[in-house]
Amino acid sequence: MVEKLASAVYNNVVAGLVGITSNPTISLDQLYDDIIDERLQIIKEYSAKNLVPIKDLIMSVNCIDIDCKSLDKCPCNGKTYSPAIAHFEMPQIVNDLALDAIEFIGSIDRSVQFRVYTNTSFTYQQYARRGATSPFVYIETTPNDNNMYDVWVYNAPLLKKISIIAIFKDPRQLDQYDCCKGDDIENYSFISTEIKKRLTEKYLRYFRQMYQSPSPNNQVAK
């Protein structure tokens, strides 16, 4: 998705600079990053107006492997001070939308859905009158060394893989999964159109100022 948006923006900019320059210098890596930044900014703006098209932004990952990891993550002197429990890593989500950014976390057949916590209030679930033994996950929304989120699974049946349906910050993080081929990750909305429009305008403004012809000096020496 990002590559196709980048291609569209680049073509728009080149077409808009006809007569000014035929070879604008645009770094594709920078253009990719600008698209992600602009996308998040637009989502934030529309979220404030309660106009975010949730269904048009969600993407799914159905093949996230589960391993084991302790909650402390940073053992001192090679020792860990909390037991290793079921754990997995997930791409970062748009935290501005809070839990609205997550539609589903659970088994890949969708038969088991986990309750989601993004703060330490999950420690009180064991005292709940209802659902104390229901499966849930705790998402630590601080990026780890892999620039992903660590997630711990509690009260869940034995699973090898996890499925997630959510709004992710950077769709490029999904490319690492075998079940998420780049050509399949397309969920366009008016936000995609807005990204192309805004970035095209920004790049054109930048390049036109850069290549602006110097004006003649009409001042008369005294």
Report yes or no on 125 lying in a domain: yes
pLDDT of residue 222: 52
**Would residue 221 count as lying in a domain?**
no
- Does the residue 146 lie in any domain? yes
Same domain, 1 and 71: no
- Higher pLDDT, residue 124 or 76: 124
**Nearest CA among 161, 44, 52, 61 for reference residue 104:** 61
pLDDT score at 183: 47
Structural domain span for residue 31 = 1-53+189-213
Instruction: Say yes or no: 44 and 73 in one domain.
Output: no
Shared-domain flag, residues 82 and 116: yes
Q: Count of H helices and E strands in the chain?
A: 4, 8
Q: How confident is the model at residue 75 (pLDDT cuts 50, 70, 90)?
A: low
Same domain, 46 and 13: yes
pLDDT at 162 over 80: yes
Q: What is the pLDDT of residues 78-95, one digit of tens each?
A: 666 667 789 999 999 999
Which of 54, 63, 35, 42 is CA-nearest to residue 170?
Answer: 35
